[in-house]
Amino acid sequence: MAYNIQEAKELVVEAGKKLLETGLIARTWGNVSARISDTQFVITPSGRAYETLTPDDIVVVNIDDCSYEGDIKPSSEKGVHADAYRLRPEENFVIHTHQIKASVVGASGLNIEAIPEKYKALFGDCVPVADYGMPSTSKLRNAVAQAYADYPKSKAILMKQHGAVVTGRSFEEAFEVVSELENLCEEKIQQAYKVYEGTAHYTRTAMFNSYIKAVGNGKMPKVIADFGESARIGSKFEIHFKNGKSFTVDIKTGTSTSEEKLPAAVLVHSEIYKNSDFDYIKHLTASEIIAVSIAQKEITPRLDDFAQIAGTKIGSFRWDGSRASGKTAAKALKGNNAVLIAGAGALCAGTKRSDLDAVELIMSRECQTVIGSVFFGAGETLSPVDANIMRFIYLTKYSKKAE
């Protein structure tokens, strides 16, 4: 049964905030809608921060032609939602997420088949992957609509290199689908690793070491060097390390009034601030990022929101404690928001602290996707043209709206 308009708007606002809290979306990515009649639904607006949404920001859209009421522009993916309501009249809530495990599996382009019995009530016999289309395009909309039509028993559609879309008869069921889809995809990833290695056992560390062996040399380290986290303050920056030590450093000279010797990693931050307009830098050490930094010298995006938020090609630098390697890091960050540190994770940078949170989340997801591609033996990187178009639109439009 469709919601009344006020309840629908309130639930959509609640859902947007819940998606952020659970890390299922970053920035303004993803969207949420609720049916209010056989002919209309309400949906999140385009490019607005979810933290500050109110019911008055939620837009009423017509199912048949996606026209809308008022001056606030609805999500650019409104067509994907309209098709869900048109093709599935029993469904009353739709969520488009960029959730981690579903993104990893979706990037492979492989349908999830042989669904375990415990998931069949929600997904039927198959969770399909819709063909890739750039965000907000008719190509993407048509691909998802085809998947809706071809797999009517599945309440989830994986969107190749773009996340997932789920439907539910209610707010509660839609979030159940989101949660169970993530569990199903985690099981799929683990199974792919077991088949690849010919083993019945799985651990994350074993999977990461297997990936490193497959594409490079080395293994997961026991200790990671600390490159710190910092923030620009005028002509200086303040840097903090995990051992509790902090320093205020002059950007131009790289010196501090502290009597204690500065850690060499301070040079990296100093060079980045001198050669960019970034105001924040953070060292990322999640295990999947460490694994990729050991095995690869660069990341070419497999997920479209990685191209948008982090950059179209993420390079690397090898830290040797010198100012020269700090300059290499700064150069690699030109046009990007992240750089790999060989064997030690990555640095992310941004002009706002929220940039760091967004890049950290998407960096983790992209690295898990890179690793997963080895075990699935499928999937590809985005075309350079698509990646550059999306990066440009993000920097000139969506990132500004998000703030």
Q: Is residue 218 part of a domain?
A: no
What pLDDT sits at residue 198?
Answer: 98
Look at residue 202 and tell me if it is in a domain.
no
- pLDDT-flagged residues of the chain (< 70): 23, 25-28, 398-403
Q: How does pLDDT run across 309-366, given as a tens digit for each residue?
A: 999 999 999 999 999 999 999 999 999 999 999 999 999 999 999 899 989 999 999 9
Residue 25 in any domain: the answer is yes
Q: CB atoms < 10 A from the CB of 220, how many? A: 16
**213 part of a folded domain:** no
Could you read off the pLDDT of 238-295 as tens digits, one per residue?
999 999 999 999 999 989 988 899 999 999 999 999 999 999 999 999 999 999 999 9
In a domain, residue 223? The reply is: no
Predicted local distance difference test score (pLDDT) of residue 51: 84
Same domain, 370 and 271: yes
173 in any annotated domain = yes
User: What sign results for the dihedral spanned by CA atoms 365, 367, 373, 379?
Assistant: positive
Same domain, 112 and 258: no
User: Who contacts 101 (Cβ-Cβ below 8 Å, separation ≥6)?
Assistant: 182, 185, 186, 188, 189, 368
Residue 210: what pLDDT? Answer: 97
Where does a domain end: 182, 197, 212? 197
Domain of residue 158, residue span: 5-197
Task: Give the number of domains in the chain.
Answer: 2
* Chain centroid offset of residue 200 CA: 30
My answer on whether 233 and 163 are in the same domain is no
pLDDT recorded at residue 220: 95
For residues 142 and 275, state if they share a domain. no
CA distance 267 to 227: 10
pLDDT of res. 150:
97
Any idea what the CATH number is for the domain that residue 381 is in?
3.40.225.10
Note whether 154 and 250 are same-domain residues.
no
Domain boundary pick from 174, 197, 220: 197
Residue of 183, 182, 219, 214 whose CA lies nearest to 196: 214
Does 307 share its domain with 351? yes
User: For 252, left (φ over 0), alpha (ψ -120 to 50), or beta?
Assistant: alpha
Q: Are residues 189 and 48 in the same domain?
A: yes
pTM of structure: 0.94
**Quick check: is 158 in a domain?**
yes
pLDDT at 258: 86
Say if residue 274 is in the same domain as residue 177.
no
Examine the domain organization and report whether 65 and 109 are in the same domain.
Answer: yes
* Judgement on whether residues 267 and 178 belong to the same structural domain of the protein: no
How is residue 158 written in tokens?
Answer: 């994986």
pLDDT of residue 286: 97
In whole angstroms, give the CA distance from residue 350 to residue 336: 9
- 383 found inside a domain: yes
Residues 134 and 246 in one domain: no
User: Which of 197, 221, 255 lies at the terminal end of a domain, its last residue?
Assistant: 197
Residue at 116: amino acid letter: P
What is residue 28's predicted lDDT score, i.e. its pLDDT? 58
Same-domain pairing of 180 and 245: no
